[in-house]
Structure 1
Amino acid sequence: MIIKILGSGCKKCVALGENAKAAAAAAGKEAEIVKVIDFAEIAAYGVMSTPGLVVDEKVVSTGKVLSAEEIGKLI
């Protein structure tokens, strides 16, 4: 599973990345967490407000920091 965090690397983006890592661990899934900071690549996903969360190339959240529990339901 590949989880991408879309954003500039701000506090919210870092928090979303940590929550995604925790959610994958809690679900017992092996996940690669990838940070995407290139705004052209972020825009290619159609994400206009960061942080964005992409799971296996599907955008599942934009503009907010999901909790580990919320991310767990999406993966």
Structure 2
Amino acid sequence: MEVRLYGAGCSRCEKIDALVKQILSRHGLRVDYQYLTDLKEIARAGIFATPALVVAGDMVVSGRVPSEKDLEDFLLKAIDKAEGEKIY
């Protein structure tokens, strides 16, 4: 399962990167997670606002840093949807 964080390296992007790593670790989730900062890659993905978190091709967060609880809910629900099962 691919989880991608697109960001320009700003403090908001770094914060969400750290939160995503904590959430994935806390739940023991094994996913293909990448934090992508290359502007060409961001444009190629059709991202208009960063940070942008994409799970299995579906945008979960764009242009803001949600609370840790909201981010956890968004991330787990998106992974559930992509895998077709409840993981938490």
Class of the TM-score when normalised by the shorter of the 2 chains: 0.7 to 0.9
Structure 1 pair 25/67, CA: closer, same or farther in 2 (3 Å)?
Answer: farther
Is the Cα–Cα contact under 8 Å of residues 23 and 69 in structure 1 kept in the other structure?
A: no
Equivalent residue number for residue 86 of structure 2 = none
Partners in 1 of 2:36 and 2:11 — Cα distance? 14
Structure 1 pair 67/32, CA: closer, same or farther in 2 (3 Å)?
Answer: farther
Structure 1 pair 67/2, CA: closer, same or farther in 2 (3 Å)?
Answer: farther
Could you say which structure has the greater relative contact order, defined with CA pairs below 8 angstroms and 6 or more residues apart? Answer: 1
The offset of 1:30, in angstroms, is 1.9
% identity of equivalent residues: 28
Give the alignment's TM-score, normalised by structure 1.
Answer: 0.78
Equivalent residue number for residue 56 of structure 1 = 56
> Over aligned residue pairs, what C-alpha RMSD do you find?
1.8
Does residue 26 of structure 1 match 2:26?
A: yes
Q: Secondary structure at the match of 1:60?
A: strand
Is the Cα–Cα contact under 8 Å of residues 6 and 53 in structure 1 kept in the other structure?
A: yes
Structure 1: 5+ residue runs without aligned partners? none
User: When the two structures are aligned, how many residues end up with a matched partner?
Assistant: 75
User: CA offsets, 1:19-72, max 9 Å, x none?
Assistant: 111111222312343111222322333321111111122211100112332222
Deviates further, 54-63 or 35-44: 35-44
Is the Cα–Cα contact under 8 Å of residues 5 and 35 in structure 1 kept in the other structure?
A: yes
Partners in 1 of 2:49 and 2:28 — Cα distance? 29
Partners in 1 of 2:73 and 2:28 — Cα distance? 13
Structure whose alpha-carbon radius of gyration is higher? 2
